[in-house]
């Protein structure tokens, strides 16, 4: 998988594609990127600008963060559940 391009590069690429001086395929080739990648950047720019429906970049980043936090919390709950079961078993049985 190729390395992610910086946001400034993406913004400039979207500006070039919006001018429509060249076909998108030619612009993508000049930039060393795939045509589908440039089209995805254009679509995301439309969503961020409010011209299209979908999750904005900020909403997508927040969703990723919240899913990560949920996964960590679920792991912590599972660890605590197992630890409490272990210590409860230890206290019930005579030594």
Integer CA distances (angstroms), 77 to 3, 23, 52, 60, 93, in order: 36, 53, 39, 26, 25
The pLDDT tens digits for 51-68 are 999 999 999 999 999 999
For residue 94, pLDDT beyond 70: no
Rounded mean pLDDT of 24-52? 95
Examine the domain organization and report whether 3 and 46 are in the same domain. Answer: yes
Rounded mean pLDDT of 34-62? 95
Examine the domain organization and report whether 3 and 41 are in the same domain. Answer: yes
Threshold 0.85, pTM exceeds: no
Examine the domain organization and report whether 37 and 5 are in the same domain. Answer: yes
If one counts every other C-beta atom within 10 angstroms of the C-beta of residue 37, the result is 15
Number of structural domains found in the chain: 2
Range of the domain at 26: 1-54
Integer CA distances (angstroms), 57 to 9, 26, 48, 65, 89, in order: 16, 26, 7, 12, 48
For residue 26, pLDDT beyond 90: yes
């Amino acid at each position: 998988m190729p390395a992610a391009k910086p946001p400034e590069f993406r913004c400039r690429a979207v500006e070039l594609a919006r001018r429509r001086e060249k076909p998108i395929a030619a612009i993508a080739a000049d930039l060393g990127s795939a045509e589908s990648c440039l089209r995805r950047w254009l679509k995301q720019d439309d969503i961020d600008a409010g011209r299209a429906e979908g999750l904005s970049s900020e909403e997508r980043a927040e969703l990723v963060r919240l899913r990560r936090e949920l996964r960590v919390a679920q792991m912590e709950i599972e660890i605590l559940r197992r630890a409490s079961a272990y210590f409860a078993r230890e206290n019930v049985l005579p030594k």
